[in-house]
A = this chain, B = another copy of it.
Amino acid sequence: MHTREIVEALIFSAQGSLPEKDILKAVPGAGPDDIERYVTELNRMYEESGRSFRIERASSGYQYVTREEYAPYLKALHTPVRLSMASLEVLAVIAYKGPCPKQAIDSIRGVDSTSSLKSLLKHQLIDIKNGKPLLYYTTSRFLEVFGLDSLSELPDLRQFEEVFREEAGNPAGEEG
Protein backbone atom coordinates (compact mmCIF):
# COMPACT_ATOMS: atom_id res chain seq x y z
CA MET A 1 0.00 0.00 0.00
CA HIS A 2 1.48 3.28 -1.15
CA THR A 3 0.92 6.57 0.69
CA ARG A 4 -0.24 8.00 -2.61
CA GLU A 5 -3.14 5.56 -2.68
CA ILE A 6 -3.99 6.34 0.93
CA VAL A 7 -4.25 9.98 -0.07
CA GLU A 8 -6.40 8.91 -3.00
CA ALA A 9 -8.72 6.92 -0.72
CA LEU A 10 -8.96 9.84 1.72
CA ILE A 11 -10.00 12.37 -0.92
CA PHE A 12 -12.22 9.78 -2.58
CA SER A 13 -14.26 9.06 0.53
CA ALA A 14 -14.41 12.60 1.91
CA GLN A 15 -17.65 14.53 2.03
CA GLY A 16 -16.99 17.54 -0.15
CA SER A 17 -13.58 19.11 -0.30
CA LEU A 18 -10.98 17.55 2.01
CA PRO A 19 -8.75 20.12 3.73
CA GLU A 20 -5.04 19.56 3.22
CA LYS A 21 -4.47 19.56 6.96
CA ASP A 22 -6.80 16.56 7.36
CA ILE A 23 -4.77 14.66 4.80
CA LEU A 24 -1.53 15.57 6.57
CA LYS A 25 -3.00 14.35 9.85
CA ALA A 26 -4.04 11.04 8.34
CA VAL A 27 -0.70 10.30 6.67
CA PRO A 28 1.99 11.27 9.14
CA GLY A 29 5.38 11.88 7.63
CA ALA A 30 4.05 13.45 4.46
CA GLY A 31 4.29 17.19 3.86
CA PRO A 32 2.12 19.52 1.76
CA ASP A 33 4.53 19.13 -1.17
CA ASP A 34 4.16 15.36 -1.04
CA ILE A 35 0.40 15.62 -1.12
CA GLU A 36 0.53 17.91 -4.09
CA ARG A 37 2.92 15.59 -5.90
CA TYR A 38 0.72 12.55 -5.19
CA VAL A 39 -2.31 14.36 -6.53
CA THR A 40 -0.42 15.33 -9.67
CA GLU A 41 0.67 11.73 -10.15
CA LEU A 42 -2.85 10.42 -9.58
CA ASN A 43 -4.31 12.88 -12.04
CA ARG A 44 -1.73 11.90 -14.64
CA MET A 45 -2.63 8.24 -14.17
CA TYR A 46 -6.32 9.01 -14.46
CA GLU A 47 -5.79 10.99 -17.61
CA GLU A 48 -3.56 8.40 -19.23
CA SER A 49 -6.00 5.60 -18.55
CA GLY A 50 -8.93 7.68 -19.80
CA ARG A 51 -10.73 8.04 -16.48
CA SER A 52 -13.81 10.23 -16.34
CA PHE A 53 -12.75 12.01 -13.16
CA ARG A 54 -9.85 13.89 -11.67
CA ILE A 55 -8.85 15.51 -8.41
CA GLU A 56 -9.26 19.24 -8.25
CA ARG A 57 -7.45 21.57 -5.93
CA ALA A 58 -10.02 23.92 -4.43
CA SER A 59 -9.27 26.78 -2.06
CA SER A 60 -10.27 24.65 0.88
CA GLY A 61 -8.55 21.42 -0.11
CA TYR A 62 -8.86 18.57 -2.57
CA GLN A 63 -11.94 17.07 -4.15
CA TYR A 64 -12.92 14.75 -6.96
CA VAL A 65 -14.81 16.12 -9.92
CA THR A 66 -16.02 14.43 -13.05
CA ARG A 67 -14.57 15.78 -16.29
CA GLU A 68 -16.66 18.41 -17.97
CA GLU A 69 -17.34 16.44 -21.13
CA TYR A 70 -19.42 13.99 -19.07
CA ALA A 71 -21.67 16.69 -17.66
CA PRO A 72 -24.43 16.23 -20.28
CA TYR A 73 -24.79 12.58 -19.22
CA LEU A 74 -24.76 13.37 -15.53
CA LYS A 75 -27.49 15.95 -15.86
CA ALA A 76 -29.86 13.19 -16.86
CA LEU A 77 -28.95 11.43 -13.67
CA HIS A 78 -31.22 11.92 -10.77
CA THR A 79 -28.79 12.52 -7.92
CA PRO A 80 -31.00 13.12 -4.96
CA VAL A 81 -29.94 15.32 -2.11
CA ARG A 82 -30.26 14.04 1.41
CA LEU A 83 -31.85 16.41 3.85
CA SER A 84 -29.95 17.42 6.95
CA MET A 85 -31.19 16.31 10.35
CA ALA A 86 -32.08 19.92 11.15
CA SER A 87 -34.20 20.20 8.02
CA LEU A 88 -35.93 16.93 8.85
CA GLU A 89 -36.76 18.26 12.29
CA VAL A 90 -38.26 21.43 10.88
CA LEU A 91 -40.17 19.37 8.37
CA ALA A 92 -41.53 17.11 11.11
CA VAL A 93 -42.75 20.10 13.13
CA ILE A 94 -44.46 21.64 10.11
CA ALA A 95 -45.98 18.33 9.07
CA TYR A 96 -47.50 17.69 12.46
CA LYS A 97 -48.20 21.21 13.58
CA GLY A 98 -48.45 23.32 10.48
CA PRO A 99 -49.51 25.70 9.17
CA CYS A 100 -47.42 27.45 11.77
CA PRO A 101 -45.17 30.48 12.07
CA LYS A 102 -41.40 30.27 12.26
CA GLN A 103 -41.53 31.38 15.85
CA ALA A 104 -43.45 28.23 16.80
CA ILE A 105 -40.96 26.02 14.98
CA ASP A 106 -38.01 27.70 16.65
CA SER A 107 -39.56 27.41 20.04
CA ILE A 108 -40.39 23.71 19.66
CA ARG A 109 -36.91 22.92 18.39
CA GLY A 110 -35.16 25.25 20.79
CA VAL A 111 -32.96 26.54 17.99
CA ASP A 112 -33.20 28.91 15.07
CA SER A 113 -34.60 27.30 11.92
CA THR A 114 -33.85 29.98 9.32
CA SER A 115 -31.47 28.06 7.11
CA SER A 116 -33.51 24.85 7.24
CA LEU A 117 -36.65 26.75 6.24
CA LYS A 118 -34.77 28.22 3.31
CA SER A 119 -33.53 24.84 2.20
CA LEU A 120 -36.98 23.24 2.56
CA LEU A 121 -38.55 26.08 0.60
CA LYS A 122 -35.94 25.64 -2.10
CA HIS A 123 -36.77 21.96 -2.37
CA GLN A 124 -40.47 22.87 -2.40
CA LEU A 125 -41.20 20.60 0.52
CA ILE A 126 -42.85 23.48 2.36
CA ASP A 127 -44.56 26.65 1.28
CA ILE A 128 -45.66 29.91 2.85
CA LYS A 129 -49.13 31.23 3.52
CA ASN A 130 -49.07 34.98 3.38
CA GLY A 131 -49.99 36.76 6.54
CA LYS A 132 -48.47 38.15 9.66
CA PRO A 133 -46.67 36.13 10.76
CA LEU A 134 -45.97 34.01 7.71
CA LEU A 135 -47.27 30.49 8.12
CA TYR A 136 -45.39 27.47 6.90
CA TYR A 137 -47.10 24.34 5.67
CA THR A 138 -46.08 21.17 3.87
CA THR A 139 -46.68 20.86 0.14
CA SER A 140 -47.86 18.07 -2.12
CA ARG A 141 -44.19 17.57 -2.97
CA PHE A 142 -43.70 16.69 0.67
CA LEU A 143 -46.34 13.99 0.44
CA GLU A 144 -44.69 12.70 -2.71
CA VAL A 145 -41.24 12.48 -1.17
CA PHE A 146 -42.58 10.60 1.84
CA GLY A 147 -44.87 8.41 -0.23
CA LEU A 148 -47.98 9.65 1.55
CA ASP A 149 -51.43 10.28 0.13
CA SER A 150 -52.35 12.83 2.73
CA LEU A 151 -51.10 14.27 5.99
CA SER A 152 -53.61 12.15 7.86
CA GLU A 153 -51.52 9.13 6.93
CA LEU A 154 -48.74 10.27 9.23
CA PRO A 155 -48.50 7.89 12.15
CA ASP A 156 -49.94 8.93 15.44
CA LEU A 157 -46.99 9.97 17.56
CA ARG A 158 -48.36 8.24 20.61
CA GLN A 159 -48.25 4.95 18.79
CA PHE A 160 -44.62 5.59 18.21
CA GLU A 161 -43.88 5.50 21.90
CA GLU A 162 -42.98 1.83 21.55
CA VAL A 163 -39.82 2.87 19.79
CA PHE A 164 -39.04 6.23 21.23
CA ARG A 165 -40.08 5.96 24.80
CA GLU A 166 -37.35 7.18 27.06
CA GLU A 167 -35.72 4.51 29.13
CA ALA A 168 -35.27 5.43 32.75
CA GLY A 169 -31.69 6.38 33.46
CA ASN A 170 -30.67 5.95 29.83
CA PRO A 171 -32.34 8.74 27.96
CA ALA A 172 -29.85 8.70 25.12
CA GLY A 173 -30.65 5.10 24.35
CA GLU A 174 -28.19 2.64 22.96
CA GLU A 175 -25.54 3.91 20.63
CA GLY A 176 -25.46 0.71 18.71
Contact = CB atoms under 8 A, between A and B. Distances in A.
Interface of A: 1-2, 5-6, 8-10, 12-15, 18, 22, 25-27, 45, 49-53, 64, 66-67, 69-70, 73-74, 76-84, 86-87, 102, 114-121, 123, 128, 130, 132, 134, 153-155, 159-160, 162-165, 167, 170, 173-176
Tell me the number of copies of this protein.
Answer: 2
Given A12-B64, A74-B10, A153-B130, A50 B116 contact: no
A158 to B, nearest CB: 12
Main secondary structure of the interface of A (DSSP, over half): mixed
B79 A13 contact: yes
A5 to B, nearest CB: 4
